[in-house]
Amino acid sequence: MRQDATVIGLVGLAHASSHFGHLLLPLLFPVFMKEFGLSFAELGFLMTVFFVVSGTGQATAGFVVDRIGARPALFGAFGFFIAACLVGANANGYASLMVVAVLAGLGNCTFHPVDFTILNQRVSAPRLGHAFSAHGLTGNLGWALAPVFFAGITALAGWANIEQEQETDSGYERTFKEGGRMTRESWNRESQYGERSVVIGDRFTVTLSGTVGDADELADALGQVDLDGLEELRGEGVTED
């Protein structure tokens, strides 16, 4: 019983990690559009490549698992995912993102053959039904966890008032304080798309974005907004026990 539960739990964790990886790229699409000036079609093709590589790879992954064993194949899958994350962290354009999609697809294709092999070999027959049910559930939980994780990281960065600056070949992204308010500014020189947002009274966020001549136009436009008046409203509608 204990061995079955351990195997089911570990395989489920691996499966959840696989499905978590499915959403590494889609959740960053807004960033890629701003930083690299990509279209929805280009971003969608990244996911097409990911799932084509993953789907066709599963057809051969079973033979690989039979030849070298489930454990080495699983470690190899994690290696591909780690490589995809490292390339993604240093991506400087569409070609780099395409490499990420291919590497992530190669990592993902191995999981189902590996998981089912381990479950069939290590879980007692009376509990195989429970094992396969848990396997499917943990995959869905991996999908559900990814957006929560990214939203949490984003919120934490805002709460901590992180000040930073990142330069790329096509533009920049800056987070800084201006007039005592946390401000974020991004600009893409190629697409001439920019965004500027400011946090007001630790309650409101005012954001302006669009295609303009330069980033200063967004700053000037945001300066026309009565931010002081908005900050005076930060206590409105708030009740204390």
How confident is residue 137, by pLDDT bands cut at 50, 70 and 90?
Answer: very high
As given in the structure block, the two tokens for residue 170 are 């096509």
Confirm whether 171 is domain-assigned.
yes
Confirm whether 241 is domain-assigned.
no
pLDDT digits (tens, 9 = 90+) for 70-112: 989 989 988 998 999 899 888 888 999 999 999 999 999 999 9
End residue of a domain, out of 159, 185, 216: 159
Tell me the average pLDDT across 32-37.
81
Could you give the number of structural domains in the chain? 2
Tell me the average pLDDT across 4-27.
90
Residue 224: helix, strand or coil by DSSP? coil
Q: Give the residue among 101, 121, 109 at the shortest CA–CA distance from 42.
A: 101
Same domain, 60 and 80: yes
The pLDDT, as a whole number, for residue 55 is 93
Same domain, 74 and 190: no
How confident is residue 66, by pLDDT bands cut at 50, 70 and 90?
Answer: very high
Q: Give the residue among 6, 11, 42, 5 at the shortest CA–CA distance from 25.
A: 42
Q: Who has greater pLDDT, 145 or 234?
A: 145
Q: Which stretches within the chain are classed as H helix?
A: 2-22, 29-36, 40-68, 70-89, 94-108, 111-122, 128-159, 215-223, 227-231
User: Can you say whether residue 166 is alpha, beta or left, with left for phi > 0 and alpha for psi between -120 and 50 degrees?
Assistant: beta
Same domain, 177 and 225: yes
The pLDDT, as a whole number, for residue 2 is 85
What range does the domain containing 215 cover? 164-231
Same domain, 216 and 195: yes
Q: Find out whether 175 and 167 touch, Cβ atoms under 8 Å.
A: no
Q: Find out whether 14 and 70 touch, Cβ atoms under 8 Å.
A: no
Average pLDDT, the chain: 87
CA distances 194 to 28, 32, 35, 181, 213, Å, are 17, 13, 9, 19, 9
> Is 70 exceeded by the pLDDT of residue 133?
yes
Same domain, 149 and 72: yes
Same domain, 82 and 184: no
